[in-house]
Structure 1
Amino acid sequence: MPANRLCLSVGQAFVAPDRRRHRSSMSVRIPADSGQFVAKGACAVISDTSSRNAIAKQAGDLSVRGFLADYFSTPDHWDVKTSATRVLRALNGWCYSQSNFVDNGSFVASLSAMVYRGREVHLFHMGDTLVFRLRGAEFEQLTRDHITDLGGYRYPSRALGLDVSIDIDYLQLPLKQGDIFVFTTQAVRGTLMPSDYVGSIRQDASDLDAACERLAAVARDRAQERGYGADQFCFQLVRIDQLPELERDHPGRIYGDLPIPPELSPGERIDGLEVQEVLSRTAQSRVYRVRDIHTEREMVMKAPSPELSNRNVYLEHFLLQQWVVERVKSPFVARVMESSRSRRYLYYLMAYVDGMTLTEWARRHPQASLAQRLDIAVQLGKAIQALHHRDLLHQRIHPDNILIDSHGQVVLTDFSACHMRDLDGHRRSRELARQTGLSEHSAPEYALDDSVGRRSDQYSLASTIYWLLTGELPYELTPEQLRSHTDLEQLEYRSARLFNPEVSPQLDDTLRRALDPQRSLRFRRLSELLYALRHQGEGAKPSQRDPRRFLRDPANFWQGIAAILLLLLLLSWLLR
């Protein structure tokens, strides 16, 4: 047994005639890598779903696997609560959205997760799964049941994927050597008493798998005696065999304690990386093109500005940026790279794209066809979609943050304002975007302190496409100049056809809708905008056109009224 290290023992047992139909799922993960184990700890999870759920097994397995995979992928500098909470919120949003595409089922699941790190345990709970602690002769339930009675049936009133937002119970407890934690589901209600748990576990505490089997056997026998269903029991035991003597370091700060790199110039080296070119210097960050002297790979290094040494809030988000990009797998989004050496300074690396910004591309290709420009627009839309699928907002879409390589492929960069969608009207996302700076392509809601969301990115995307097609902006008054909601009435859309006759009426209508000053009136989904861009040459049906077009254009409105009155007058003459 390694000295000065947290050591655990685990046992599990299922009671099910067909394991593939079991509606509960459970797992324990203890990282083999010592660095990850110190930083993230070990994790035990159990989930359970309703017997009336047609995809109960899939929902339970997905919630457990998804939590474990994403939790151990979070940055090492995050503490346990931050990591688990953000992962659960992202997983909840995905489960909630995917349930809309399932018939006779849903990805709703009760879930309890415990993270064992150092000399403490962290419990995260929602729904009606059960976690108990056995300490000596004391047997205590640590979770609360979130249940609603409807028509004689008991349903979880709080669970993963049940609503767009989620309320997570959190409990932090000190560990003692010999503590045993019991994970099970609501199926055991009415079958086992506390004395049954204590007796079954103490009978042979050295073999936790056998203890779980005994618990399952007792629960099955009691259920059969009382006429309950006896084929859906599961038990998981985790025992604390050894605690570390002293936590000498603070794993949650492994990267947060690293110093910010000094100003670098071409030719200087840091961590085996040689600076080739300074790509950007801003008040918040430094971006360099570097070469790994061992592998000869060219990469892009992004580091905080040296002036930000004491701005811990920004530094926390800076480290979040790397995690954001790592989670998104798309050829249209910049890739995070690993250095061949360990880091001694605070930065992260991305794949180098040999290309130019969209601003430079437009300047060098003034004669580019409409089809070429629309191809770039669709690629950019796919990049934004990849972020949205991970419940992320980009918030800084404009031509200088878009690269086009030598093959014409679009790569989206600059994640300084990228943020997970919040549950409080996206206040934190909006504040981050304002802190990093608004642009002429930012949606009006950022300037007016309104709620922001995916349709805000849609506006920025459409504004960038409008600029790409015309070289102009859709409104004379930019979002940065807005001071109040009354200013929105002054935003009059300028038809793209005024600046580029090649733009079809259908494409102009598409851009007009995506650029509506009112967020709720834009396309409901980004996929609708991309579909319209790909099929812009096809004639739109009248029912597909924006009915608000006539209200925004008084000339069209009164011409329509005059035509109707003339038709009525002609009919009255004919019927005399």
Structure 2
Amino acid sequence: MQLGHLAVSIGQAYRALDHRSARSAMAVQMPEDSLLATKGVAAAMADSTWRNVKAKQAGETCVRGFMADYFATPDNWDVKTSANRVLGALNGWLYAQSRQMVQGNYISSFSGLVLRGRVGHLFHMGDTLVFRLRGAEFEQLNREHTTLLGGYRYPSRALGMDPSLDIDFMEFNLKQGDIFLMTTQSVKGTLMPSDFVQLIRQYSQDLHQACDMILEKAVEKASARGYSSQNFCFQLVRVDQLPAETDNTLGEVYSSLPLPVELSEGEEVDGYRINEVLSRSQTSRIYAVTDMSSGREMVLKAPAPQLSQRRDFLAHFIMQQWLLERVQSPYVAKAVDVSRPRSCLYFLMERVHGIPLEQWCAEHPQADLKTRLDLIEQLVKAVRALHRRDVLHQRLTPDNLLVDGQGMLKLIDFAVATVPSLPDLPAPLTLVRSAGLTPYSAPEYRLGREPGPRSDQFSIAAIAYEVLCGHKPYAGQLENMQSKVDFTRLHYEPSCQYNPMIPAWMDGALRKALQPNPELRYRRLSEFIYDLKKPNPDFTAPADAPLLERNPLAFWKILSALLLILLLVTWWS
């Protein structure tokens, strides 16, 4: 199949005895146009262990995750940077999921092959196998990483096995006619190198048929030798045509893009007219723009000109677009992918028409608890979408939450969001301190301690507290806290003191999520929002407690009724 300047052909074959024994996954993705130039063609093979009850899910998650995220990386990242960061983020997620499982895990061997321009890139972890057939030479490109335990051979250095990731990387020039074979450890002991070469040569006109014949031969030999496992997975990728040596990829062009100068209303850049300057901060410039060709309204975000020498902050800026493209949620602003060439460094986002959450609260003072809780739940869903991608937001405030006319909330700013597991980026604390702390920042930022998902939880709870009762928690206290001892003296004011309609169990949920010690907060955001909507017995006042504590709403209804009766009696007497 010919795609632009680089043309490849593929073949695949897979066999598992039954659905329960399936443990391998494979895929090839061949994009078109500019994406082919910037990202190339990617092939992946993953294989988990046969004793893993989550083997099938592990392999499929690795392959799908890599394919989806690699092609969403910024254009000016090279192949190695893109793949390493994608695999680092994927490894962190897999490792976190495995730690929460009682049975099975998300550990999997993985090999990823990227062909871009005239160069091949191989990324490998575990014991999957990658071979190259070039002319008469058939060689294994990667090294298997295995460990022998109890007479069984297990993969080592695999995805999801350890919080840190050790990736084997290999870069090599491509030649027209190169054929790459990707397979799994189960083929060991069945086929010889000569078998592969013979079958690939014999069925070179149809690589799918070649894979089918390789599979048939492997099953035949496995049966003859009495192998109990007959799970086989084969994938062939052949280079049919290479681009001209003088061709430049878009990625190479974007890697040297200059920072844009200060832009003003009415000016144009790459066909986008500046309608309004939305923000000028220490790290970025944000403009409302219109695409002159389509009339579409968007938001253009560019680095601040003074960051031209700060490579770490520029790397973080470039990563923001990738974060937006990875996170799929109706409550998170989306990145806009426009394939036209760029003359300077920026990215585009959808334009969200709405008002800041703080303004919405001021304009809707009579909104009931149900409406306010609905906005809080939307915020939780937005942040959970980030956390599922191992992203910390770190700067949740009412100002970066917009509410539209239908009451839908959307998170729009990601200036200090980060993936802690990715290398070569500013540390989370460095990003937050560069932007400055807010009244919604978790105490650990002030103490200089490593933040985590529960730090975002604190910010959500602080916003929820303000939305529900109109005041900030710990108002006037956080700013003066400098040590752990200081934080033990924080005094929590119950939200029901400001809004009598808030029941004690709802305030209990807020109090727990606003604990100065992150270990005392909720383990998951889903638990927090559940307790905000449903009474938790742990936060319910005892039966002998005053009615005002047990049910403030009922108390005020009864009091209002009594006052009305007294008024009527006074009027009639």
Q: TM-score, normalised by structure 1?
A: 0.83
C-alpha deviation, 1:96, in angstroms:
4.7
C-alpha deviation, 1:211, in angstroms:
4.4
**Aligned partner letter, 1:288:** Y
How far does the alpha carbon of each residue in 1:169-209 deviate from its partner, in whole angstroms, 9 at most, with x for none? 32223334444322111112122333444444455656544
- 1:462–1:515 contact (8 Å) kept in structure 2: yes
C-alpha deviation, 1:460, in angstroms:
1.0
Following the alignment from structure 1 to structure 2, what is the Cα–Cα distance between the partners of residues 43 and 338? 20
Greater shift, 99-108 or 289-298, is seen at: 99-108
SS in structure 2 of the partner of residue 390 of structure 1: coil
Q: Aligned residue for 1:23?
A: 23
Change (3 A) 1:252 1:369: same
Following the alignment from structure 1 to structure 2, what is the Cα–Cα distance between the partners of residues 339 and 4? 19
- The two structures, once aligned, show a CA RMSD in angstroms of 3.4
Q: Aligned residue for 1:438?
A: 437
Q: Aligned residue for 1:322?
A: 321
Following the alignment from structure 1 to structure 2, what is the Cα–Cα distance between the partners of residues 249 and 81? 17
Corresponding pairs, count: 541
**Aligned partner letter, 2:332:** V
**Aligned partner letter, 1:8:** V
Change (3 A) 1:174 1:482: farther
- 2:299–2:351 contact (8 Å) kept in structure 1: yes
Change (3 A) 1:247 1:497: farther
**Aligned partner letter, 1:460:** S
**Aligned partner letter, 2:428:** S
- 2:121–2:171 contact (8 Å) kept in structure 1: yes
Select which of 524, 534, 537 maps to 1:540.
Answer: 537
Change (3 A) 1:80 1:276: same
How far does the alpha carbon of each residue in 1:266-315 deviate from its partner, in whole angstroms, 9 at most, with x for none? 33333333333222221222222233344443332222223333333322
C-alpha deviation, 1:325, in angstroms:
1.9
- 1:438–1:480 contact (8 Å) kept in structure 2: no
Q: Aligned residue for 1:354?
A: 353
Q: Aligned residue for 1:489?
A: 488
SS in structure 2 of the partner of residue 10 of structure 1: strand
How far does the alpha carbon of each residue in 1:91-142 deviate from its partner, in whole angstroms, 9 at most, with x for none? 3444455567888654443221111112322211222211123345544333
Change (3 A) 1:71 1:423: closer
Q: Aligned residue for 1:13?
A: 13
How far does the alpha carbon of each residue in 1:253-275 deviate from its partner, in whole angstroms, 9 at most, with x for none? 44443443333333333333333
Following the alignment from structure 2 to structure 1, what is the Cα–Cα distance between the partners of residues 340 and 116? 27
- 2:134–2:178 contact (8 Å) kept in structure 1: yes
Q: Aligned residue for 2:65?
A: 66
- 2:504–2:541 contact (8 Å) kept in structure 1: no
Greater shift, 181-190 or 271-280, is seen at: 271-280
1:167 is the counterpart of 2:169: no
- 2:186–2:230 contact (8 Å) kept in structure 1: no
C-alpha deviation, 1:523, in angstroms:
0.5
Change (3 A) 1:341 1:427: closer
SS in structure 1 of the partner of residue 261 of structure 2: coil
C-alpha deviation, 1:494, in angstroms:
3.2
- % identical equivalent positions: 51
- 1:188–1:233 contact (8 Å) kept in structure 2: yes
- 2:186–2:232 contact (8 Å) kept in structure 1: yes
1:382-421 alignment runs, 5 A limit: 382-421=381-420
SS in structure 1 of the partner of residue 10 of structure 2: strand
Following the alignment from structure 2 to structure 1, what is the Cα–Cα distance between the partners of residues 484 and 471? 24
C-alpha deviation, 1:395, in angstroms:
0.8
Following the alignment from structure 1 to structure 2, what is the Cα–Cα distance between the partners of residues 479 and 170? 47
Change (3 A) 1:150 1:437: same
1:290 is the counterpart of 2:289: yes
**Aligned partner letter, 1:515:** L
Q: Aligned residue for 2:183?
A: 184
How far does the alpha carbon of each residue in 1:544-569 deviate from its partner, in whole angstroms, 9 at most, with x for none? 99xxxxxxxxxxxxxxxxxxxxxxxx
C-alpha deviation, 1:51, in angstroms:
3.0
1:273 is the counterpart of 2:272: yes
**Aligned partner letter, 2:391:** L
SS in structure 2 of the partner of residue 400 of structure 1: helix
Following the alignment from structure 2 to structure 1, what is the Cα–Cα distance between the partners of residues 252 and 339? 21
SS in structure 1 of the partner of residue 122 of structure 2: strand
Change (3 A) 1:120 1:269: closer
1:118-157 alignment runs, 5 A limit: 118-157=117-156
**Aligned partner letter, 1:81:** K
Following the alignment from structure 2 to structure 1, what is the Cα–Cα distance between the partners of residues 444 and 341? 42
Gaps of 5+ in 1: 546-576
**Aligned partner letter, 1:540:** P
SS in structure 2 of the partner of residue 332 of structure 1: coil
SS in structure 1 of the partner of residue 123 of structure 2: strand
Change (3 A) 1:510 1:189: same
- 1:3–1:244 contact (8 Å) kept in structure 2: no
Following the alignment from structure 1 to structure 2, what is the Cα–Cα distance between the partners of residues 363 and 315? 37
**Aligned partner letter, 2:276:** E
Change (3 A) 1:50 1:339: closer
Change (3 A) 1:477 1:122: farther
Following the alignment from structure 2 to structure 1, what is the Cα–Cα distance between the partners of residues 408 and 27? 42
Following the alignment from structure 1 to structure 2, what is the Cα–Cα distance between the partners of residues 256 and 435? 25
- 1:267–1:275 contact (8 Å) kept in structure 2: yes
1:518-529 alignment runs, 5 A limit: 518-529=517-528
Following the alignment from structure 2 to structure 1, what is the Cα–Cα distance between the partners of residues 34 and 393? 31
Q: Aligned residue for 2:558?
A: none
